[in-house]
Amino acid sequence: MGNPGEEYIGTRHNSGREAVMKFADKMSFDDFEFDKKKQALVTNGKAGKTKVTLVLPETFMNKSGLAVGKFAKVAKKIKNPAGKTIKAFPDLIVVHDDLDIPLGRAKMSWGKSSGGHKGVESVIKAVGTQAFFRVRIGITPAKASGALKKPDHDTITDNFIVAEFKDKEADEMKKVIKKVVDCLEMAVGESPEKAMSECNTL
């Protein structure tokens, strides 16, 4: 997920979008084409023997669910750890930036809440469940102690998330996005569970 438009290329909020584009390049997918009805750029291909559809919502981040919901239509019924049957999308992987993860790290998770991420909230609302996979890419610098140097709320919304990375940060992001691409390849070509164990050690 991210924001459409050239002015958002290289910004923190577009980390997920750029990782998906890099994945498409690595897997030699066809160029993305705009689907007006679904409000998204779309391409199809294979990772191993698995057919994959990559979707870049052309809505702004906070309305990403408008596009995602048009692709994630057929839910499965699974039992959660408590034994309750829930609606789930085990074939859906949402890739996005995350303020609560240090820059240079990434985590893959299943069935988590949005954590206040408006784009993820939009997807959860559209598909009617939080039971899907997410790859969360850290965008917040950390101190030597490991504590995040997280800006205040106004700075986050007005400047930080839509700002470009500093040169050193951009170099760090290239490395982690490469690893995220490898995790996505493993997730769709082998299994999301195996990818989670790999991605969460980045």
Active site residues: 13
Q: Is 61 exposed, middle or buried (0-12, 13-18, 19+ CB in 10 A)?
A: buried
What's the first-to-final CA gap in the chain, in angstroms?
A: 20
Report the DSSP pairing between strands 50-57 and 40-47.
antiparallel
Q: For residues 69 and 191, what is the distance between their CA atoms, to the nearest angstrom?
A: 23
Compute the distance between CA of residue 94 and CA of residue 108 in angstroms, rounded to an integer: 10
User: How far apart are alpha carbons 192 and 135 in whole angstroms?
Assistant: 10
Q: What are phi and psi of 60, to 5 degrees?
A: -75, 160
How far is the CA of 133 from the CAs of 33, 84, 130, in angstroms? 24, 19, 9
